[in-house]
Structure 1
Amino acid sequence: MPLMKFHLVKGRSTEEIDRLLDVAHRAMVSSFKVPERDRYQILTEHEPSHLRALDTGLDLPRTSKFLLLEVVSRPRPRAEKLAFYETLCGALEGDCDMSPDDVMVSFTQNSDEDWSFGRGRAQFLTGEL
């Protein structure tokens, strides 16, 4: 936890996808101080005609490398979220040759009772986590 949902246009190699997922996880660990094994990622590839993301009037040139990242998480401080945005974009630019203009992130917050990692228990509530 957090749960990261990646939406990409089809066409990246397995190596590119692996690198992108690794970079995003490192940004999450760095920004939110989550444990290294706290890794939950789902990647969905879309046909180019099935993923549209304009720039909300910000004059951001989008390319076929566009990434929409949905993050589901317990509440996080504003400073940590801002650090995550910056760290993620910098790492994707350096390690994945992605423009920061192609990175869009949206957070959805939930609470401890909204997570069960298995065994039919809510580990944040039981004290297991």
Structure 2
Amino acid sequence: MPFVRIDALRAGPERLAALGRAVHDALGETIGIPPDDLFQVLTDHDGTNGTLRYGGYLGPDRDDGIVYIAITMRSGRTPVQKRALYRRIAELAHAYAGAEPRNVFVTVTENGSADWSFGHGLAQYADTAD
């Protein structure tokens, strides 16, 4: 159910795939998503036609190795679960793709059950009484 967008600068297909696997594995380990729950958009920016901007906000010394990870999922996870997720994503992105943890930027957006359609024009999570 999480929908994941990953943007990286000059990552190439292998590194993008490794980043996607890192996020997917972290989601499984920390919040228990099923292995076949895989919805990701992986985008490599070449620095010319598309690029990524970053600053030093809140301390990390970021560089062109920046990786933006945006996760949309249904609400209900605790702050403790989210912190564990962020930490595990940074660990696995480093292990799988060589991303420096200081360059791993994660945001989570939450929504409700009726905000999802997995095909056929249905809101599969929504209460059928709606």
TM-score, normalised by the number of residues in structure 1:
0.88
Does the 8 A contact of 2:23 with 2:89 survive in 1? yes
CA contact (8 A) 2:8 2:16 kept: no
User: Is contact 2:6–2:68 with CA below 8 Å preserved after alignment?
Assistant: yes
The gaps in structure 1 that reach 5 residues or longer are none
Residue in structure 2 matched with residue 65 of structure 1 by the alignment: 65
Q: CA deviation at 1:57?
A: 4.0
Q: Which residue of 1 aligns with 2:113?
A: 112
Partner residue in 2 for 1:53: 54
Alpha-carbon shift at residue 109 of structure 1 (Å)? 1.0
Q: Identity over aligned residues, as a percent?
A: 26
* 1:23-102 equivalences in 2 (<5 Å): 23-48=22-47, 50-58=51-59, 60-75=60-75, 76-102=77-103
Count of residues in correspondence between the two structures: 125
TM-score, length-normalised on structure 2? 0.87
Cα separation, 2, equivalents of 1:43 and 1:55: 24
The SS at the match of 1:86 is helix
Secondary structure in 2 matching 1:69: strand
* Offset from partner CA, 1:79-117 (integer Å, 9 cap, x none): 111110111111112222111100001111110000010
Corresponding residue for 1:3? Answer: 3
Counterpart code for 1:61: D
Compare the two structures and name the one with the higher helix fraction: 1
Deviations 1:14-36 (CA, angstroms, capped at 9, x unpaired): 22221111111101111110111
Which runs of 5 or more structure 2 residues have no equivalent in the other structure? none
Deviation at 1:126, TM superposition (A): 4.9
Q: Secondary structure at the match of 1:45?
A: strand
**What CA RMSD, in Å, does the superposition of the two structures yield over aligned residues?**
1.6
